[in-house]
Structure 1
């Protein structure tokens, strides 16, 4: 049971999903409509039908609420499972096929989920939103480390460069691609966006492949 020394976010995580939604549903609507900087914590509290005191019992500030809101959406789609499938692949072909499938799934999800796409656009556009999401981003970095190490063990990922460098390259490319599609995807048809997403995934693969490797590129 939460105590007086428990951190606000830990107290919130201990709540049942229905109670959490009392804040996260109106928060999602607010952040999607106004972005991060222009979003009003007071409006969210009013929409939630909660008091400021009770809200601050669970959230240190607006940034903590944004973080919880985006984490909820990311967890709901459970993309981590597909990361795990790729990490447990038995050979290079299976490894890259799983990641290609993950890319296609993410594209389809964003096409059908305007609110998640809006939250990601806010994350890319506003530095304050990025700062509030720093801890989950660090966890994502760790997951990519593990994924690339697993790829090296089966010859899917090059092993002639430090893993930290490969992770940095992957993260920068993922951020660039994600940012571009978040900001421009709405101008494309679903078919065009899906096809472009698959071609763009080759940009991510290329610097990670073992030198002179053609196996993964032929899938």
Structure 2
């Protein structure tokens, strides 16, 4: 296999951690400060001490660089898996495990401001979403797997298409995240944690089987 047969992404992953950081550290700072569309590849390259020609050896475009930056930051929460949720055998335990997973993710984002900034950029900018289409598809599939597991044990309503429940869940996650992004500066840590727990109720309300609300609803 010649070098021309190797994709830029594979070339980048073949670098050692120090060399990868030489690219990703300034890229992360730029994306966190300016978002995706307003980030300047020239500024990143200047900080990295690299040429534009060299950048194309490792990244086909700015989108690939953003994706690599996000992947590195996401690696820190890879251990926050959803295995316990998928293993739950009754509704109460299912929602307890979902709440615990949500709390762990919230705590991780509170501790890692740059990861939170990158994820908000992903929420807010269409171009960033297009660049990270594969990652978003994986996340969407994981949400669908959780909801399907919940339906199997009666924890999640089964009277609506799963695809609709996934769409509603993802939109609520984005909405809640936007609100916290706009108001976090006015909240101390305790307030933010309390509101995060209360906001969890907004996320699960559309998913609860109607029978659990009593006989007043149609």
What band does the TM-score fall into relative to the shorter chain?
0.7 to 0.9
User: How far does residue 121 in structure 1 lie from its aligned partner after superposition?
Assistant: 2.9
Residues 24-79 of structure 1: per-residue CA shift (max 9 Å, x gap): 11111111122222221122122223332332122111111111111221221126
1:74 and 1:91 mapped to 2: Cα distance?
A: 30
Give the 3 Å change call, closer, same or farther, for CA 101–139 of structure 1 in structure 2. Answer: same
Which sections of structure 1, spanning at least 5 residues, go unmatched?
215-219
Structure 2 length normalisation: TM-score?
A: 0.88
Structure 1 length normalisation: TM-score?
A: 0.87
1:76 and 1:2 mapped to 2: Cα distance?
A: 34
SS at match of 1:90: coil
Residue 4 (structure 2) pairs with residue 4 (structure 1)? yes
> Which deviates further from its counterpart, 128-137 or 5-14?
5-14
- Contact 1:2/1:11 (CA < 8 Å) preserved in 2? no
- Contact 1:120/1:182 (CA < 8 Å) preserved in 2? no
2:166 and 2:79 mapped to 1: Cα distance?
A: 18
Partner of 2:191: 192
1:181 and 1:84 mapped to 2: Cα distance?
A: 27
Residue 39 (structure 2) pairs with residue 42 (structure 1)? no
1:147 and 1:6 mapped to 2: Cα distance?
A: 36
Q: Which has the higher contact order (CA 8 A, sep 6+)?
A: 1
1:16 and 1:154 mapped to 2: Cα distance?
A: 46
User: How far does residue 184 in structure 1 lie from its aligned partner after superposition?
Assistant: 2.1
Runs of 4+ in 1 over 4 A off after TM superposition: none
1:48 and 1:208 mapped to 2: Cα distance?
A: 46
Give the 3 Å change call, closer, same or farther, for CA 39–197 of structure 1 in structure 2. Answer: same
User: How far does residue 80 in structure 1 lie from its aligned partner after superposition?
Assistant: 5.0
Which sections of structure 2, spanning at least 5 residues, go unmatched?
214-218
